[in-house]
Amino acid sequence: MSMDRQLVDMLMHYSVERAANPALTQYCFNRYLPILDAHSAEYSREYQACGDSYESLMLAADAKYKNQMESTRKGLRESCDKIEKCNSQPNYLQIFECYGNTGSNEHVVIQSLADASKVAATGLGADYEAIESSHDKCCKQATAKYNENYSRTRLEMDNCLNGIVVDPETTTPRPTTKK
C-alpha cells in the first residue's frame, strides 16, 4: 500500500492549512496515526494468513495425489524398462518381435495409466481452482476490510482536523473552537 506516501501528503497538507491551531493538529495526528498504523498491521497479518493458507492447501492437494503420482511413475518406468529389454535380443528380427509383443502388452498398461492420470488431473485441477478461488476471496476480504477501516479513520481524522472531535468513549462529535 502507498499509505506512507498518503500520510506524508496529508501531513504536508495539514501542516500548512492547520498552522492556526497546531495543538488540534498535533492532537488529531497523535490520536489517528497509531490507529492507521494498526489498520495497516492488521491488513498485513490477514493478507499473510491468506497466503499461508493458500500454500498449506496447495501442499495438501498435492499430497492427496502423491501416491497416485508415484504409482503412475513406477508403472510407466516398468513398461519402458520392459520395452527397453527388447534391445538385448540377439538380432533385429527378435528385437522387432519383442517390440511388437511387449509394446502391445505395455500399451494396455500405459493406456490405463494415462486414463487414470486424466481423471487425477481433473480432480487436482478442481482442487487447485477451489483453492485459488478461496485465496482470492480471502485477499479481497482483507483488502476491503482495510480500505473500509482506513477510509473511516481518515474521515474521522479529517473531521478532527476540521475541529469536529469525536470523543473516543462516546463517539459523539463535539465541535471545537478554532483559535
Predicted local distance difference test score (pLDDT) of residue 165: 85
Burial tier of 67 (Cβ tally within 10 Å: 0-12, 13-18, 19+)? exposed
Give the chain's domain count: 1
pLDDT (tens digit per residue) in 34-84: 999 999 999 999 999 999 999 999 999 999 999 999 999 999 999 999 999
Strand partners, 164: 175
Residue 63 in domain: yes
| Residue 178 falls inside a structural domain | no
Residue 179 has pLDDT above 80, yes or no: no
Q: For all residues of the chain together, what is the average pLDDT?
A: 88
Report if residue 179 sits inside a domain.
no
Q: Is residue 150 part of a domain?
A: yes
User: Who wins on pLDDT, 9 or 166?
Assistant: 166
The confidence score (pLDDT) of residue 174 equals: 53
pLDDT at 172 over 70: no
Specify the range with the lowest mean pLDDT, choosing from 8-17, 22-31, 40-49.
Answer: 8-17
On whether residue 46 sits in a domain, the answer given is yes
pLDDT above 90: percentage of residues in the chain: 75
Residue 147 lies in a domain: yes
> Would you say residue 139 lies in a domain?
yes
Give the separation between CA 92 and CA 94, rounded to whole angstroms.
5
pTM of the entire structure? Answer: 0.73
Domain that holds residue 49: 3-173
